[in-house]
Structure 1
């Protein structure tokens, strides 16, 4: 396939590299430039929209709005192009994107991903895909390169974005759960490694607990996913809950705690630093 990439952060670069290595023709645009082996850098976003598909991996709603909508670039896409939106965005903006793509005559698949940069580098992301079945099938060769599994979440693209926001909400809850459990156990003489080994070997052996317990055990919070981005995703979950007229008390609590973590100066650390903030009593 002839694939465009917009956004070459840690995740986008890994995706672009894997697609090029798999034999696809990849052209990428990035606001701050960059270089990825096997990938041709183009000077404008419009040039990235001239292939069979374009994959966007931008930071948030505002970045996508600026690059694709406010600029009018979407209307310059090659006829038949399919846009694969891999970013974590709000459900409300996802609905707006559906309308904007329909107006521009551009096919659209929402495909946010689960996985950190190391998972993206291995091509083992979980892809949450929603859109017209024919469009998903058309970009499946792309998705199969960047992901280990494609989860079909229906024909309405915003469903995939709601699922992604919900997943990130649950990861944040798991981080806070470990922080609160360790605050309790360490105060009563149970070693951190000892308790984490216990929970991983009994009740909580899921990937989120495995990945983030390792950070907490070592006290190493070099960012894989920054706390400030985690706070953004919890805001998106809060907005989605309010729009659905649902009361989510656990979300309110973890959103407040992540806010405190960022305000304490840990925003550029991995979001699992929220557990350390809790263990230390907010110090």
Structure 2
């Protein structure tokens, strides 16, 4: 604590709290239940735009500890120290304008201390100071906090303060130990506290980005993210890495139990603006900001289709941005097929080798000798999963319902095999390569086999030793979902049917044979008719028409 204990006031202080979000709710509850200061009057007065939230708090701690104000103006007039913890800069400014207006109208003569604990852009602190300093006997303290809701639950937050010295001293001894464990004093310049808060959040956000990229790289390389998380615990045993890494590995993205992604995007925008204002490039934060936006956009799309797991995302879900950019499912790591880079390289080689058997160089039109030009071969490319629907919708001939069905079938990486031309035997060969590239799933164990496995594991159990849970390595799944041929979308079954067709040259030969067959058959019939007499008679008529003077006669 950087402050000595303040003098005992002449009367009991009445505290007010405005904003009962994920953090504000916990801090207001801790002030009501943990603060046993002799100079503080209970109940604590609270206000929230959604009254149900305030009623929930009052029901939880009791009406003797919580009183609900009907308006922010009532809160400002009735209380001596007013804490605020609000969503964004616009909301903070709106409430402080209401506070200032109410106090001016009531011709306030009491001492007031306003303590803003929100994360805002530094310049807003100056605007709030102008509002509050216009009121006699009123002071402003900027006091943002560091710590997640789980940290707030145990009153272990770190409070950063800037503003009037006496006011800071008064507030600091109310917040510690009821709300936080430590106070950092940054002097009288109000803008220093929100600046310090943004710098601290840049450290957190940068750490999240590093974790997200490392976990994604591991999964793309055939290594489980949980193994990387164990390494993080061994070499970097810090709470931020351990807590947020655990959320990413296990897809724990519920924003109601952490820091909501909207708040993370707001903070990252503030950090980038601050970096721009002071000419300090922060490229890692730029990437993290884009991944946050990507995660929110993908989640909004899933929610619109009714597929979202959580109503609100935690900002650790920025890993979804890194995953999607790498062709993985954003929010469900169980759908990651773990198709490693070495296996992908081998698959490309296998496709090329198999396709060569049906890719002979085409003959040149200028000469009868074969062309020396190398044949074009199929290519395998991994693309962003989100590009599938957008790409297919560019074709007017594609049925939107088929596109929707295909998009729902895609889980994890999406690969596209591009063929230079339609070659059914070559396509059939590629399908066989794809089918053989994935090992068959293990046979389903019978109840007797499962019971035997359980007995074997318990027989080797040593009392007092924690049994290490073995997680089976996922078997990658490779599934053909369709094809786009000359602007027409074909389902997986249709692809198999196309692969059974003969080549174009074979079809041409069959067509020529079909067209020439009737003429050959007619000549044969005529030649065979009457032992050849009909043919000879027709030949005689031909000669007579040519004027050779001979009379056609019937041959004996």
Give TM class, smaller chain. Answer: over 0.9
Aligned to 1:90: 121
Change (3 A) 1:78 1:254: farther
Q: 1:151 aligns with which of 180, 184, 197?
A: 184
Change (3 A) 1:88 1:189: same
Aligned to 2:97: 69
Q: 2:221 aligns with which of 188, 210, 217?
A: 188
How many residues align structurally?
282
Change (3 A) 1:47 1:92: same
CA distances 1:101-159 after superposition (whole Å, capped 9, x unpaired) = 22224211100111122222221111111112211111123221111111112221211
The within-5 A match list for 1:80-229 is 80-105=111-136, 106-144=138-176, 145-202=178-235, 204-223=236-255, 224-229=258-263
Cα distance, 1:9 vs structure 2 = 1.7
Aligned to 1:246: 280
TM-score, structure 1 normalization: 0.92
Question: What SS does the aligned partner of 2:97 have?
Answer: helix
Cα distance, 1:41 vs structure 2 = 0.4
Change (3 A) 1:233 1:143: same
CA distances 1:46-78 after superposition (whole Å, capped 9, x unpaired) = 222232311001111111122221572354566
Change (3 A) 1:250 1:73: farther
Name the larger-Rg structure.
Answer: 2
**1:225·1:271 contact (CA, 8 Å) conserved in 2?**
yes
**2:115·2:140 contact (CA, 8 Å) conserved in 1?**
yes
What value does the CA root-mean-square deviation take over the aligned residues?
2.0
Counterpart CA distance in 2 for 1:244 and 1:80 is 37
Q: 1:278 aligns with which of 309, 317, 322?
A: 322
The within-5 A match list for 1:13-28 is 13-21=25-33, 22-23=35-36, 24=40, 25=42, 26-28=44-46
Change (3 A) 1:20 1:274: same
Gaps of 5+ in 2: 1-12, 301-310, 330-556
Moved runs in structure 1, 4+ residues, more than 6 A? Answer: none
Counterpart CA distance in 1 for 2:154 and 2:73 is 29
**2:232·2:242 contact (CA, 8 Å) conserved in 1?**
no
Counterpart CA distance in 1 for 2:220 and 2:233 is 20
Question: What SS does the aligned partner of 2:227 have?
Answer: helix
Counterpart CA distance in 2 for 1:206 and 1:78 is 49
Aligned to 2:14: 2
Gaps of 5+ in 1: none
Q: Which has the higher contact order (CA 8 A, sep 6+)?
A: 1
**1:74·1:101 contact (CA, 8 Å) conserved in 2?**
no
Counterpart CA distance in 2 for 1:7 and 1:165 is 20
Counterpart CA distance in 2 for 1:64 and 1:189 is 47
